[in-house]
């Protein structure tokens, strides 16, 4: 990924970026498709909610858009990653009197879209419950880094993350949906997890189709017995899951599903809108 920053990180005498010191940053990972950022408004909206939760100054949305523009001219599929950090300075955890947030823009070819259903690992690391950080896409992501290592070690495609009380929350880099008795269900993100942009888009689309959509607590048993299980994120859209595996001696399979009609229907709608 090639990176651009509004200010070189170590150029000033003001100090090292608090993003690097404390993970004091927000980020957005966006799909760039033929010069368009399909869900840019949703991304900037989440960025603003993140700023409120972290008491960071609101980013200048017009300024961000004009910083993004020169990187969005090429045709094809790209990933644009935007990091909005608290910038340099301060003594320890205390912020400096005047924050100078920094904007970093990264660009890389989009990953290949995953073909075929996913094998999910039931991760051992759980998501800690922290309502003051839940929902937003902040820069404290060690849990996801460790979870991704578990997934790679088990040879799976993605991982299912529970919280400390056994509630299913999300995947490592995607949100989770299940279909049960014709209803679309997705976990509550009040205590942990990231409120994905594609999750919001899918909930809106599904409601528009007259589907019954519920945010609810889900257990592993609920997932195992679901009619359909699929993941969502901004780069890949919707991906159906076919199996849930538990690590250990020989990786036991604890859930199995066939790709179903709801995921297919919503996937087509996303394509039609040009959102994936």
Which of these is catalytic: 24, 28, 150, 170? 170
Q: How far is the CB of 263 from its own copies (least distance, A)?
A: 22
Q: d(Cα 261, Cα 267) in Å, to the nearest integer?
A: 10
Query: Rounded to 5 degrees, what are φ and ψ at 239?
Result: -130, 125
Q: Please identify, using beta-carbon distances, which residue of 82 and 266 lies nearer to its own copies.
A: 82
Return the residue of 43, 137, 138, 199 that touches its own copies, per CB under 8 A.
138
Q: How far apart are CA 212 and CA 178, in angstroms?
A: 12
User: Judged by CB under 8 A, does residue 28 bind its own copies?
Assistant: no
Asked about 170 being catalytic, the answer comes back as: yes
Among 94, 182, 210, 250, binds its own copies (CB under 8 A): 94
C-alpha distance across the termini of the chain, in Å: 20
Contact 170, 111 (CB under 8 A): no
Q: Which of 137, 150, 186, 228 is catalytic?
A: 137
Give catalytic status of residue 81 as yes or no.
no
Residue 116 near its own copies by CB under 8 A: no
Q: Is 67 a catalytic residue?
A: no
Instruction: Please say which residue, 54 or 213, places its beta carbon nearer to its own copies.
Output: 54
Question: What is the residue whose two structure tokens read 């009380």?
Answer: 165
Q: Provide the b/e sequence for 116-153 (b: ≥16 CB within 10 Å).
A: ebbbbbbbebbbeeeeebbbbbbbebebbeebbebbee
Query: Site residues (CB under 8 A) for its own copies?
Result: 1-3, 5, 8-10, 13, 15-25, 27, 29, 54-55, 83, 85-86, 91-95, 104, 106, 108, 111, 125-126, 128-130, 132-133, 138-149, 152, 164, 172-173, 192
């Amino acid at each position: 990924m090639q990176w651009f920053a509004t200010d070189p990180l170590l150029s000033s005498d003001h100090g090292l970026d608090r993003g690097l010191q404390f993970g004091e940053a927000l980020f957005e990972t966006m799909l760039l498709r033929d010069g368009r950022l399909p869900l840019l408004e949703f991304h900037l909206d989440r960025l603003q909610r993140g700023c409120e939760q972290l008491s960071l100054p609101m980013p200048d949305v017009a300024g961000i858009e004009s910083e993004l523009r020169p990187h969005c001219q090429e045709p094809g599929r790209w990933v644009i990653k935007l990091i909005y950090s608290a910038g340099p300075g301060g003594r320890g955890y205390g912020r400096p009197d005047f924050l100078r947030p920094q904007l970093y823009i990264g660009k890389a070819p989009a990953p290949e879209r995953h073909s075929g259903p996913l094998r999910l690992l039931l991760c051992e690391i759980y998501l800690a419950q922290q309502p003051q950080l839940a929902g937003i896409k902040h820069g404290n992501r060690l849990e996801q880094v460790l979870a991704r290592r578990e997934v790679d070690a088990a040879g799976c495609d993605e991982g299912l993350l529970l919280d400390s009380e056994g509630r299913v929350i999300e995947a490592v880099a995607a949100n989770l949906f299940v279909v049960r008795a014709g209803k679309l269900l997705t976990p509550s993100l009040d205590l942990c997890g990231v409120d994905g942009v594609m999750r919001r888009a899918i909930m809106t689309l599904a409601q528009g189709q007259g589907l019954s959509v519920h945010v609810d607590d889900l257990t592993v048993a609920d997932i195992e017995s679901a009619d359909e299980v699929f993941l969502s994120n901004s780069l890949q859209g919707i991906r159906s899951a076919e199996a849930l595996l538990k690590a250990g001696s020989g990786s036991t399979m604890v859930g199995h599903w066939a790709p179903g009609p709801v995921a297919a229907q919503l996937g087509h709608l996303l394509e039609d809108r040009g959102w994936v």
